[in-house]
Amino acid sequence: MDLKLKIWRQKNAKDKGRFETYEVKSISPDSSFLEMLDILNDQLILEGKEPVAFDHDCREGICGMCSLYINGRAHGPDSEITTCQLHMRKFKDGDTITIEPWRSAAFPVIKDLVVDRYAFDKILQAGGFVSVNTGGVPDGNAIPIAKPKADESMDAAACIGCGACVATCKNGSAMLFVAARVSSLALLPQGKIEGARRAKAMVAKMDELGFGGCTNTQACEMECPKLVSIAHIARLNREFLVAKLRD
In this prediction, residue 134 carries a pLDDT of: 66
Q: Domain 3-110: what homologous superfamily?
A: Beta-grasp domain (3.10.20.30)
Backbone angles phi, psi at 44, to 5 degrees: -65, -40
Domain boundaries, the chain: 3-110, 118-246
Tell me the Ramachandran region of residue 129: left when phi exceeds 0, alpha when psi lies from -120 to 50, beta otherwise: beta
CATH number of the 118-246 domain: 1.10.1060.10
Whether the per-residue pLDDT at 190 is higher than 70: the answer is: yes
pLDDT in tens, 48-106: 999 999 999 999 999 999 999 999 999 999 999 999 999 999 999 999 999 999 999 99
Nearby residues of 85 by Cβ (< 8 Å), 6 or more positions away:
32, 60, 61, 78, 225
Whether the CB-CB separation of 232 and 179 falls below 8 Å is answered with: yes
Q: Is the pTM of this model over 0.85?
A: yes
